[in-house]
């Protein structure tokens, strides 16, 4: 009965007709990649290389997370995103004004709060008073919103 309860929660699969036929679900073995750096300051050149992977966990929002980025800089410290933190990025979560997003501006990537978005003007706000807003004209500059920040991991030392 205990094993059936664990199976219902999705942690294991009981194979019928097999002696000791218990296996861990594959979803527990899935990994989310840490694929590079994102600027929390001025934008930095985007480099996509897999630094490491982090196992998916049912305790985290890992179904929403497509990848992690390591933060460089201090422009988001007022909302608790510090240098060396890992932010979980989701491509599928809709971005709206007020969301913390990862934006690619002319092949440079940055994490900022989306303040305004129209055809002629996009305003990205750093959450640190020492930095100015980034104002982008999508008609002139190449702008792509890579995803929304849906999680934050801080590695203990």
Q: Determine the Cα–Cα distance for residues 89 and 147; give it in Å rounded to an integer.
A: 6
Catalytic-residue membership of 112: yes
Check 62, 75, 90, 148 and give the catalytic one: 75
Phi then psi for residue 51, to 5 deg, are -75, -45
Span 80-105, average pLDDT: 91
Q: What is the largest CA-CA distance in the chain?
A: 65
* Alpha carbons 97 and 115: distance in angstroms, whole number: 5
3-state secondary structure of 124: strand
List the structure tokens of 126: 């750093």
Q: What is the pTM of this model?
A: 0.71
Mean pLDDT over the full length of the chain: 83
pLDDT at 58: 63
pLDDT above 80: residue 80: yes
Instruction: Assess whether 9 carries a catalytic annotation.
Output: no
């Amino acid at each position: 009965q205990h094993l059936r309860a664990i199976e219902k929660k999705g942690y294991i699969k009981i194979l019928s007709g097999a002696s000791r036929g218990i296996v861990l679900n594959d979803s527990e073995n899935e990994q989310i990649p840490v694929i590079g750096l994102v600027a929390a300051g001025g934008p930095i050149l985007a480099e996509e290389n897999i630094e490491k992977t982090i196992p998916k966990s049912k305790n985290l929002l890992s179904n929403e997370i497509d990848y992690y980025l390591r933060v460089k800089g201090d422009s988001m410290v007022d909302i608790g995103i510090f240098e060396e933190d890992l932010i979980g990025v989701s491509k599928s979560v809709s971005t709206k004004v007020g969301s913390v997003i990862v934006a690619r501006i002319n092949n440079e990537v940055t994490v900022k709060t989306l303040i305004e978005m129209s055809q002629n003007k996009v305003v990205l706000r750093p959450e640190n008073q020492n930095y100015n807003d980034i104002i982008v004209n999508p008609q002139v500059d190449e702008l792509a919103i890579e995803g929304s920040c849906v999680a934050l991991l801080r590695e203990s030392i």
